[in-house]
Each structure stands twice: as structure tokens, then as C-alpha cells.
Amino acid sequence: MYKFAFAAFAAALTVSASAVEINVSSTPALPAANLLKNGSFEDGKTTPWRLNGGNSALDTENKFSGSAAIKITGDPAKRPNVAQSFPVSNIKAGDPLYVRFAAKNSGCDIDKKPASIAWQAVLANGKRPYLPTLSLPREDYDWTTFEHVIKSPGDIKSLTFYFCYYNQEGSQFFDDAVIQGGTTDLKIDVKGNDLKNIKVRHSVTGTVLNEVIKGNAFSKTIKVPYFGSYAVEVTDSKGVRTSKLYPENVDANRSGENITPLVACKRINLVSAKPESLTFELPAAAKGKKVFLEFSARCNQLNPVAGYTAMLKVSVNGKVCRAAELVKPMNRSKTASGGEMIFTRNNGYVVYYSNACYGISEDSTYCPVSLPDRNPFNFKLDVTKLVKEGMNTLKLENVLPPRMKREVYVDNLVLVTE
């Protein structure tokens, strides 16, 4: 049985009387503060952002969340940007540095440079490098969350972060910007009967600990990225897995009525030749109903959509899911280039190379135009005939050769009954 040890999932999953006790803390404590001020533009003003070189303003109609976003109006003759500078004290050479934001575009010229972000560091040695970053789609797109992690090139004294929309047309929107980084010491204490394994998943970068353990107690402190959240999963000799998310409200998997989260945090990072096996007990609410496996999947990269490949194999109780189980996306779709996309292949399901999951514009040759939402990232599998009462096993595999060094991000993995 797979159960969670925090309140958000109490209604969805039964907690055993013999539940393992998991305590997690960190120094410095999580959640980490956002280094950006007014990153969600909720102050009713743009301060301390600087609006440079064009027409930029708060917009209360187009926003990702809250009450407002920043809108940059394109002008082919101008190079507008929105920028903020701030001091940094906790990010040293080699430390992870994380940026996340939501973006939307309407009315751009696909033959011109798309919107972009930039960040320039001032290092302790006096150098002022621009840091590596991701790219945004060249075509129009609806609100989409983008995120990126790099290693700091040195001890950082300050950063300047930019939203840019140069020599363009239409409107570019940004919201919910977050910058965090550095490391924290994560302390884990576990008590239970006949413990066998502990796994710790970071909600952004993947597994940070996977260790065989013995006895009735375990304690360890590990240095980890100072952003996101950590799902601590402990398995005992009976195969019962207990999970706790720390902090419990950060990057949590989705849940709700008839929705059973299969991992506590939002993401599983699938590495080639390292399949993930998850056991779960079929919820009582599933009796007499359809059972679906839902998640989003992409092959992570710095660029937006740029191709696809068959690389995700999904098995339930030893049975490989194929076209018969695929509800979304539909197995066959026409593409904007005039070709045909088939999502089920011998190697598994097709996954797009992309830095985010979103509905692809028909201006992109990769757009699956037959899909109503043009979104090839959201998967829904009908596993009704494959699950059973009692213990079930889900296996996820990235089947690409390890030499390709490509990760599959599987987000919001849940079981849904309808």
C-alpha cells in the first residue's frame, strides 16, 4: 500500500496504524525566500522593477495568477525590457541557481526574435557574466510555466534579471517570477519496523538519495538544493511505502476527489536505464468505475518544442501500456507540416523534446493539429483492465540509450477514477 504522511492527502489515502514516522527539517529552513521582490506583480505597482525602452505596464486582465501580470507591448523599432537588480549572499561557486516564471504571448511575428529572459551576475572576483538560460517559443502560446537550473560560475554578490521583448509585435506577458539558489542541509529521521529502503526526490532536479537501509531507525543529513521541496519515501519489509513532503505545500502533486497522487512531489525524473517502480493500492472509490493514469511528460531541454521520439514505456502489473490504453493524446494526429504523428511505437509512447508543456501553436511544424488543445504533453491512460484489488505495480522507463543523457520529466502522476 502506498500512503502519504501529510494532511493534504489524508482524504485520498488510508494511513496504516503501523505507519513509519518521518521527520524532515533543513538548515537553512525551507521554503526558500524568493530573491526577486514583487515577482508576482501583486503590489499594485511595478516597483522595484525598472521598465526600460518601451511600453510596459501592469495588466489585470491577462495574468497567470493573482491580480496582475506585467505586459510588454511589442514595437519593431524598440527593445523594451523589464529588469530588477538585487543583492545575493548565499550562492557560492558551483551552487545550483533556479529560475521559474510564467509567460504568454499574443500576436508575435514568428520570423523575428522571440521574447527572452536574461540574468547577469556580479561575482566576488569582479567579473560580470551573463548566465546560461532557456529559450521561449517563437510562436504565440498561452500561459506556460518555464523553469531552469544552472550551476553558479562563482560566488555571486548580486544579480540583475531581465524580461525582454526586442523589435517585436503583439504583446508579451510575464508573471510569478521566482529566483532561488544555494544549498541547505536536509536532515532526515525515520522510525519504523524493519525498514528496507529510503528514497528522496527533489521536486525539480530528481532523486537526491536512494539507499538500502536496515533496522528500525535511520538518520542522515545531506546537502541539497535550496529551492523546491523533498519527497521522502520509506519502504518497509512488507513493501509498504510511506511518504512525507517537505515543505508540505511546495511543489506538491495534485490531489482531489477521486484523484490519488502516486508520488508526493510534482515530478519524477526518469533517467535512461533507471526505471521507476511504484506500488499502490487501488482506492475503494475505484470499485465499479473506470481507472485512469494521468500525467504530463516531456524530454527536458533548454529550447521549446524541437522534435519528439518514442522514449516512455509505461507498465501496470507487468503489462506494457500501448495504443489500447491511450486516451490522451489520441494515438494518431495530423501535424501542421502535413505529416501524421503516431504516439504509440514499439519503444513506448512518443514524448516531445521541450522545456515546458503547453498547447503548441499551429505556426509550429510540430503542432499536432488534430488534438483539440494541440497539447501532446498531457497523457491519460485507461488502465481499468490492468489494475486489480490489493497491491498494484506501476513501472515507468526512459528507454533511450544512456549515452544520449536525456531525462524524461513526468509531472503530476496521479490515479483518477471516473
pTM here is 0.92
Do 296 and 404 reside in the same domain of the chain? Answer: yes
Question: Residue type for 32, please?
Answer: A
The pLDDT value recorded for residue 10 is 31
Do 380 and 407 reside in the same domain of the chain? Answer: yes
Do 224 and 274 reside in the same domain of the chain? Answer: no
Burial class (CB in 10 A: 0-12, 13-18, 19+), 284: exposed
Mean pLDDT of all residues in the chain? 93
Domain span at 125: 1-251
Do 151 and 124 reside in the same domain of the chain? Answer: yes
The enclosing domain of 33 has a CATH number of 2.60.120.260
Burial class (CB in 10 A: 0-12, 13-18, 19+), 209: middle
What mean pLDDT is predicted for residues 200-209?
Answer: 98
Indicate the pairing of strand 291-300 with strand 348-354.
Answer: parallel
Do 222 and 150 reside in the same domain of the chain? Answer: yes
Do 271 and 246 reside in the same domain of the chain? Answer: no
Percent of the chain with pLDDT over 90: 89
Q: How many domains does the chain have?
A: 2
Do 259 and 244 reside in the same domain of the chain? Answer: no
Whose cell is 524524461? That residue is: 408
Do 274 and 349 reside in the same domain of the chain? Answer: yes
The residue from 202, 235, 251 where one domain ends is 251
Is the pLDDT reported for residue 12 higher than 50? no
Do 280 and 245 reside in the same domain of the chain? Answer: no
Is the pLDDT reported for residue 402 higher than 60? yes
Alpha-carbon span 157 to 11, nearest angstrom = 46
The residue from 193, 228, 251 where one domain ends is 251
The enclosing domain of 378 has a CATH number of 2.60.120.1200
The pLDDT value recorded for residue 106 is 97
- Which of 108, 111, 96, 154 minimizes the C-alpha distance to 129? 154
Do 280 and 189 reside in the same domain of the chain? Answer: no
Residue 149 in grid coordinates: 537550473
Indicate the pairing of strand 81-87 with strand 50-52.
Answer: antiparallel
The pLDDT value recorded for residue 277 is 93
Do 273 and 299 reside in the same domain of the chain? Answer: yes
The pLDDT value recorded for residue 7 is 33
Confidence of residue 8 (pLDDT cuts 50, 70, 90): very low
The pLDDT value recorded for residue 284 is 80
What mean pLDDT is predicted for residues 352-379?
Answer: 96
Percent of the chain with pLDDT over 70: 96
Selected residue with higher pLDDT from 220 and 14? 220
Cβ proximity of 82 and 163 under 8 Å: yes
Confidence of residue 286 (pLDDT cuts 50, 70, 90): confident
The pLDDT value recorded for residue 261 is 95
- Which of 154, 151, 139 minimizes the C-alpha distance to 306? 139
Confidence of residue 239 (pLDDT cuts 50, 70, 90): confident
The residue from 251, 281, 310 where one domain ends is 251
Whose cell is 513506448? That residue is: 348
What are 38-83's pLDDT values in tens digits?
Answer: 999 998 899 999 999 989 999 999 999 999 999 999 999 999 999 9
The pLDDT value recorded for residue 73 is 98
* 362 Cβ contact list (under 8 Å, min separation 6): 336, 369, 374
Do 34 and 180 reside in the same domain of the chain? Answer: yes
The pLDDT value recorded for residue 1 is 32
What mean pLDDT is predicted for residues 263-280?
Answer: 95
Spell 57-89 as b/e; 16+ CB within 10 A means b: ebbeeebbeeebbbbbbbbeebebbbbbeeebe
* 66 Cβ contact list (under 8 Å, min separation 6): 40, 41, 42, 175, 176
User: Which of 43-47, 125-129, 311-315 has the weakest average pLDDT?
Assistant: 43-47
